[in-house]
Amino acid sequence: MRKVCIIYTGGTIGMVPTEKGYAPEKGALNKELSSLKDLSAVDMPEWDLVELDPLLDSSNITYRDWNKMGQEIASRYDDYDGFVVLHGTDTMAYTASALSFMLENLGKPVILTGSQIPLCQLRSDGKDNLITSMLIAADSVVPEVCLYFGNKLLRGNRSYKSSADRLIAFSSPNYPSLASAGIEITYNYNLILKKPDPEERPFRLTEMRRTSIGVIKLHPGIHFDVFAPIVTKNLEGLVIEAFGTGNMPNYDEELPYVIRQAIENGTVVVVGTQCAQGKVRLGTYDVSSQLVDAGVVSAGNMTTEAIVTKLAYLLSLGLSRQEIHELMEGDLRGEMDDRM
């Protein structure tokens, strides 16, 4: 009999109505799951529920919570065929990206899901998201950290939240879905990462440490000096959400002071794009050529969620700046795979 571990971190799917709006309540999700007859159907895997304490609104998630989730998975890794992590939607893509790097040599499915409407409500999308995620986790077809929502299974570090109010809340504009759920669950086998040989590459958890990373989103007429106070020697990483293929203004025909100062301080500077689809190509236009000369890192077609969490992961490894540069520009967990 296949067996799945459900890890509930908080989020809308298990919330209940209160005087101050929806909020997580200890034990409420377990009662709700126990009342769902579908979870005891013959085709469903056996399951156990692990409820984190405290339960969190996903807006409050930090690296400590990623470590806690990773520890819960690692400590039970040999006991289950797969894992389902129930999580709030606001930062679900960040957590999926973070776990994809932290859970090294993963050989089992770890599926993040949740809902836009609480499971206790009549029109909740949580029931289908949960049941299908459990079936995918039990199948053991996808040895990756994934995000399932609205009938699509996405690579976790390729997803981002694209809608605040639609039931299809997540998108993966730079990589196709790994599976789709209709009458049957159909896997795109050629897009799924290969399962590592546990003898040669055993599973392990690498925990995150507290890192200092800043994110600047460019806009026309931006005054870079506003950000000067954050660019100190304590800033370990700086992510620039640039225009188009990595372009940025150079009003004085030179790099903005904050970027020059960050590079001189030894900060790892990574340039991504504000566009949902496409990739950074530094040097394609004159306005980005100075970035190449300065030695910034191109994020390729990674999401901002993947850039931030990958950078935090690499910084946690204690690598040199040059090693981080090389690994940021390389594909570790399918976060930069170009197949479309």
Active site residues: 12
SS (H, E, C) 79-116: HCCEEEEECCCCCHHHHHHHHHHHEECCCCCEEEECCC
Instruction: Identify whether the C-beta of residue 245 lies closer than 8 Å to the C-beta of residue 279.
Output: yes
d(CA 90, CA 149): 13
Instruction: Identify whether the C-beta of residue 110 lies closer than 8 Å to the C-beta of residue 146.
Output: yes
Sign of CA dihedral 41, 117, 68, 112: positive
d(CA 177, CA 189): 11
Task: Please state the separation of Cα 192 from the chain's center in Å.
Answer: 17
d(CA 7, CA 83): 7
Q: Count of CB atoms within 10 A of residue 127's CB?
A: 16
Cα separations in angstroms, 84 against 24, 178, 240: 18, 16, 33
Instruction: Identify whether the C-beta of residue 91 lies closer than 8 Å to the C-beta of residue 59.
Output: yes
d(CA 231, CA 237): 10
Alpha helices in 187-282 (DSSP H): 257-265
d(CA 228, CA 104): 36
d(CA 301, CA 280): 6
d(CA 130, CA 33): 10
